[in-house]
Structure 1
Amino acid sequence: MRKRYLIEVVQNDQMIVFCPPAILKDKTIKRIAFGSKSIAVDFLPHPDHTDRIVISRVIQKALLFPNFKLPLHVFIEGQNLYIGPLVGIFTAGFLHSEEEDQPIGERTQFFSKLLSVNKTVGALPFIFGEQHIDWEHGTIEGYFYNHREWQKHQIPFPNVIYDRLPNRRSEGIPRLIKVKERLQKEYLIPWYNPGFFNKLEVYERLQQEPTVEEYLPETQAFTSFSMIETMLSNYGHVFIKPKNGSLGLGVHQIIYDKYDDDYFCRFQDKNEINRLRKFSTLEQLVNNIFANQSLERMIVQQGIHLLRIDHRPVDFRVHTNKDDFGNWHVSALAAKIAGPGSVTTHKRSGGEIRTIHEIFQKTEGDQYIEKLSNAALLLSKALDKQIEGIIGEIGFDLGIDKNGDVWLFEANSKPGRSIFSHPELKQFDFLTRQLSIAFAVFLTEQSLLYPEELFQ
């Protein structure tokens, strides 16, 4: 069973570490490590038999250990005792001035909340960008959030790295790709949540998993008008989405009225106003609506006749996270009701966030929660198996049709957090943050004790 210990720094220059006797029992430990730094020291049982690990000021300085007086995990591998984990959160968008209270602009509040879980998790998370790395000395100038303020500390390379690059553009910058490759390949640092998902790739990979086949609406890369016509005749309406889109941007719904032989397109214009336009032919619709867009970058997805609340479609955001033992959990679940005339349920399009039990009776709501949770866990395990890299969290957009069947619309590797603005979802906001850092404890343990499983 893992245990956490308070790391205490005392004002002497001895190269001695005092440990609880249980740690040293039947073991020969000769080195202490923090992140990528390790030094040879002597280990002695703590005379008071307390659950503390006591290091001297000189050991603290050699390890570049910031003394935040937090309980941390201890890992023993061979003759080494590791304290931590030290969790690097890699991102971009630091302000040039790097102001002390807002080092990363409007995203500072999110990161301060993310780093605030350190006490409950027993880890030391920090944020950094490529400009903060000193390759020559193997150190990073990391930003920590401690006692409600930002502090900079020079620290070793971390045990694991959590990818929080903000968008696909930053993810594609060559120098950031090189940083990631170097830290993974040269330093063998596990890197989790490595990239944004491609919608078509997710669909094609999941098709290979029989356990989740029932959740997949037909999804095709755009090839021709006739393909849209065929799907419209099969389903009555389809959605056209960018393969690499997010936040509901660029989503269009095409509806075919077979009685009047008309085509409708519902979308949000560049001024973020919801529109519904009518055309007599599909060709007219496409030439008008998509005149300045490349349809080759789009996917066409089967329309689903969703459950409705007050005549408005409702879908569901389900967050899943891995915990500190590497197991998947449903960490948050909310309903999203589409705004009037909106093609999506996103908040920016007038959508409303509700808990399940706000819109359904208890028995019915419980049934939906169970269905959605089971689907999300099966989909998480399937994606984990099929997508390259280490995945620690996923945000699913799921729908339930009028027959009670669950459908997957999208899977997001870096899910947005708009659902947590709802007062009754605050506790799940904390849980998702807590688990996203707790997973680093598992990865650290795996990389030290079972590296062949992690890097196979």
Structure 2
Amino acid sequence: MESVILEEYSRLDLTARRPVLAILTIEDEVQLFRGNRSNFADLILMGQSMGFIVYVLTVKNLYLTRSQLRGFAYEEESQSWKLQLFPFPDIIYNRIPQREDELLPSVRKKLAACAKSSRVKLFNPSFFNKWHLFEWLKTAHTTKPFIPCTRKLVSQVGLGRMLRTHPYLYLKPESGKAGNGIMTIRVNGEKELPYRLKIQEDKKSATYKCSSLSKLWTRIQKQTAGEAYIAQQGIVLAAFNERRFDLRALVQKNGRGQWDITGIGARVAGSSSITTHVPRGGSIEDPEKLLISSFDADLARRILIRTKNTALLIAKQIERGSGAILGEMSMDLGIDSSGNIWFFEANSKPMKFDEPHIRKKSLERIFHYGLFLTQKNAEQAGGA
């Protein structure tokens, strides 16, 4: 059971010039706060080992005019959370877990105030919208070649036009994450029921066969229930043991404030899953091993180098397009049977990478970049 005791942080900690990072989340009446507690605990322990004061801060307890804020400390021995008074943060790390929480007017107001404040640096300002991502990336000649044909899904006519050019499509919710709501369409004119709609369901998928475009459209409308979707050219990915795989890149800013590759993992799709997400039945593999299984060793190594360079180009362009300070993102990149690289998705609030070497480095990088932001803020405040 989690204890809640309000204590003041020690006078030594308040007066020492240790950098302060607050992990921002949303309050919860039952659990005190929402979010991935094990991730928050890992962040706090890593930050403390690197000389930071780190605590969990709810939007409700965030006041930009105060010198101290109520936040949650993690006690490793008892694995419990304690409410304390902490110094006002130098950095606010946005880990509000749900898009709908982030869209609440009260939350949007405080995030906007943080973005404008000279007292604090905010990174991870918000979740990405899939349509905006592709719009930003299509505008730059450096990133446009990696973008599959993508359109808003708005009408039966538009869908039919796209299927004539691309008989294999992915349908994705603009505001979805972790593979939620994804569908695929395949058209085979030689079949009696030529339209095959596959819908992701937990760790498996359901397939519907339709005789006409109008019946397909009716089924899609029922499934989307008015939610905004995009339609995207389907890419036939390289496979391992007849199961598709993609690469998952984690890109973070380093201690110099520059984008850098923290690590690249690989995810193999489940036997009956549309996506490669592990919660959907996907599995973790070594990227070089998978690439060598599809290409020769030399080409596999060159593809991996190109993937890293591509991920950096994409991260820089997303930050330019968003007009915000970003500190990290994960992205899904596909490799087709010819070795071409394709961008599918980016997440401004990456989930934990299960690969131990990537996980450790990812935690360290948050505080390396946090220290960079703190020093930059101090220089600006001092007029340097």
- Give the one of 156, 171, 178 matched to 2:102: 171
Change (3 A) 1:410 1:106: closer
- Give the structure 2 partner of residue 306 of structure 1: 237
SS at match of 1:191: strand
The whole-number CA distance in structure 1 between the counterparts of 2:107 and 2:317 is 29
TM-score by length of 2: 0.87
Q: Contact conserved, 1:64 with 1:154, CA < 8 A, in 2?
A: no
**Amino acid of the residue matched to residue 198 of structure 2?**
R
Deviation at 1:189, TM superposition (A): 1.5
- Give the structure 1 partner of residue 5 of structure 2: none
Q: Please say if 1:441 is aligned against 2:371.
A: yes
The whole-number CA distance in structure 1 between the counterparts of 2:145 and 2:31 is 51
**Amino acid of the residue matched to residue 406 of structure 1?**
I
- Give the structure 2 partner of residue 430 of structure 1: 360
Q: Please say if 1:64 is aligned against 2:14.
A: yes
Q: Please say if 1:189 is aligned against 2:140.
A: no
**Amino acid of the residue matched to residue 88 of structure 1?**
A
Match runs of 1:41-440 below 5 Å: 61=11, 64-65=14-15, 83-94=17-28, 96=30, 98=32, 104=33, 107-119=36-48, 121-133=50-62, 137-145=66-74, 148=77, 150-185=81-116, 188-260=119-191, 262-269=194-201, 273-294=204-225, 297-361=228-292, 362-417=297-352, 419-420=353-354, 425-440=355-370
Deviation at 1:151, TM superposition (A): 4.7
The whole-number CA distance in structure 1 between the counterparts of 2:161 and 2:55 is 51
Deviation at 1:119, TM superposition (A): 4.7
Deviation at 1:246, TM superposition (A): 0.6
Give a deviation string over 1:371-423, Cα, whole Å, max 9, x none. 21111011011111111321000110110111111000011101222x41xxx
Change (3 A) 1:106 1:450: closer
Change (3 A) 1:311 1:426: same
Q: Contact conserved, 2:169 with 2:185, CA < 8 A, in 1?
A: yes
Change (3 A) 1:137 1:400: closer
Change (3 A) 1:136 1:221: closer
**Amino acid of the residue matched to residue 61 of structure 1?**
R
**Amino acid of the residue matched to residue 312 of structure 2?**
L
Deviation at 1:357, TM superposition (A): 3.1
The whole-number CA distance in structure 2 between the counterparts of 1:353 and 1:214 is 27
The whole-number CA distance in structure 2 between the counterparts of 1:136 and 1:432 is 31
Change (3 A) 1:186 1:322: closer
**Amino acid of the residue matched to residue 305 of structure 2?**
E
SS at match of 2:163: helix
Change (3 A) 1:179 1:258: same
Deviation at 1:287, TM superposition (A): 1.0
Is there any run of 5+ residues in structure 2 with no aligned partner, and where? 1-9
**Amino acid of the residue matched to residue 237 of structure 1?**
Y
Give a deviation string over 1:171-214, Cα, whole Å, max 9, x none. 01222223323444455411100100000011111112111111
- Give the structure 1 partner of residue 6 of structure 2: none
The whole-number CA distance in structure 2 between the counterparts of 1:401 and 1:352 is 19
**Amino acid of the residue matched to residue 111 of structure 1?**
F
Change (3 A) 1:260 1:409: same
The whole-number CA distance in structure 2 between the counterparts of 1:331 and 1:258 is 45
The whole-number CA distance in structure 1 between the counterparts of 2:17 and 2:133 is 37
The whole-number CA distance in structure 1 between the counterparts of 2:57 and 2:242 is 46
SS at match of 1:444: helix
Q: Contact conserved, 2:66 with 2:88, CA < 8 A, in 1?
A: no
Change (3 A) 1:133 1:223: closer
Deviation at 1:116, TM superposition (A): 1.6
Change (3 A) 1:451 1:313: farther
SS at match of 2:263: strand
Q: Contact conserved, 2:328 with 2:348, CA < 8 A, in 1?
A: yes
The whole-number CA distance in structure 1 between the counterparts of 2:357 and 2:75 is 21
SS at match of 1:131: helix
Q: Per chain length, whose mean CA-contact separation is higher, i.e. which structure has more relative contact order (CA < 8 Å, sep 6+)? A: 2
Deviation at 1:328, TM superposition (A): 1.0
**Amino acid of the residue matched to residue 139 of structure 1?**
Q
Deviation at 1:313, TM superposition (A): 1.4
**Amino acid of the residue matched to residue 412 of structure 1?**
N
**Amino acid of the residue matched to residue 117 of structure 1?**
M
**Amino acid of the residue matched to residue 17 of structure 2?**
I
**Amino acid of the residue matched to residue 308 of structure 2?**
S
